[in-house]
Amino acid sequence: MPWQYATRRAIRPLRLGVALARHSRVVGVQNQLRRIAVATSPRLMTPCSGYRSAIKFQQSHTYATTSTPKSNRSTKSKPAKKSKKTAKKPVKKPAKKRVLTEKQLEKKKQQEHRQRIKELKEASLTPPAKLPQSAYIVALTSKLTELRSEVPSEPRKPSDYFSAAAGLVRSMNSAELEEYRGKAESNKATNSAAYESWVKSHTPLQIKEANLARRQLARLQKKVFRPLKDDRQVKQPLSAFIAYNTERNESGDFKHVKRTQVASRVAEEWKELTPSEKQRYVDLAAEDRERYIREHLEVYGEVPKRATSPHPESA
């Protein structure tokens, strides 16, 4: 249509927003509409710096948008995966050694000593209590029992009972004492049977360990601990000097010599012997050592710790 006719008819100026409301993929139609809008509205001729061009705006809302080159594309970097950190186990610091004072050390030493004494007493074994084996003790015990059974006219001390019982025993005649002697002999036989039965209830090894504990107790407490008697115990081996000493004492050459002087004289004789003369006693000691090892294995069920023979000249 002519431009003049369009002006006379007062065609309203078209706005690109309304004209391009429907999306179109044809670029030519968009160009024609743009020309019409420019002809009818002179105000569109002035450039507007604050607005985007209509074509750009339309293309950004249609399929005709221009693709940006790959080099200009903003690539969003993917967040890096967090590495799983293994939790470290806390390292235990070595405990500091506690420094004890002299008083604490002394107390600890006493506690260890008491504990050691307790263990040794348990290992030493306690034999059964014995009945009195003396006629005097039997009579005294009997008189004490009689006096304590009586009701005294006035209170007495234990020492008074003991003194009165001792006086009664001393005033007894021989017939009464003979009766108590018979009781004492009976008690001795009873004690021997009870002790032997008690010893047999333990193994030879237990009796051996008990005697070892008794020796240690005697050394630690400085008291007398008698060894337990057991015929099953293996006798210790003899050394060459002990074999010679035994032979010289049994010869009868020292009948009129004091016992304190015999040992020194035998030691002097041993030193004066030649090696060939000593060899006989060395052989005796070796044989006795073999006997000890054999019996130790049979009785205790184990080889002795010191299976090697001692020095031939050791006492």
Which residues are within 8 A (CB) of 64 and not within 5 positions of it... i.e. 6 or more apart?
25, 27, 58
pLDDT tens, N- to C-terminus, the chain (315 residues): 454 544 454 445 555 554 445 554 555 556 666 665 555 555 544 454 444 454 555 555 555 445 555 555 555 555 555 555 666 677 777 777 778 888 889 999 999 999 999 999 999 999 999 999 999 999 999 988 888 888 777 777 888 888 888 888 888 888 888 999 999 999 999 999 999 999 999 999 999 999 999 999 999 999 999 999 999 999 999 999 999 999 998 888 888 888 888 889 999 999 999 999 999 999 999 999 999 999 999 999 888 887 654 544 544
What's the Rg (C-alpha) of the chain?
61
Integer Cα distance of 15 and 38 in angstroms? 10
Residue ranges of domains in the chain, CATH in brackets: 3-60 (no CATH), 105-221 (no CATH), 240-300 (1.10.30)
What is the Cα–Cα distance from 215 to 202, expressed in whole angstroms?
Answer: 19
Query: Quick check: 205 and 232 in contact, CB under 8 A?
Result: no
Instruction: Count CA atoms closer than 13 A to 144's CA, side-chain side.
Output: 14
First-residue to last-residue Cα distance in the chain: 152
State how far the alpha carbon of 198 is from the alpha carbons of 126, 178, 227, 228, 230, in Å. Answer: 10, 30, 14, 11, 10
Take residue 151 and report the two structure tokens written for it.
């009701």
The phi, psi pair for 134, rounded to 5°, reads: -110, 140
Residue 232 DSSP symbol? T
Question: How far lies 137's CA from each of 131, 177, 206, 294, 311, in Å?
Answer: 10, 11, 33, 45, 49
pLDDT for res 282:
95
Give pLDDT, residue 31.
63
Enter the tokens of residue 36.
């019409």
Q: Name residues whose C-beta falls within 8 Å of residue 237's C-beta, 6 or more positions apart in sequence.
A: 285, 288, 289, 291, 292, 309, 310
Return the pLDDT at 87: 62
**Angle in degrees, CA 196, 189, 129, rounded to 5:** 60
Q: Could you tell me which residues come within 8 angstroms of residue 224 by beta carbon, excluding any fewer than 6 positions away?
A: 218
The model carries a pTM of 0.58
CB 239 within 8 A of CB 228: no
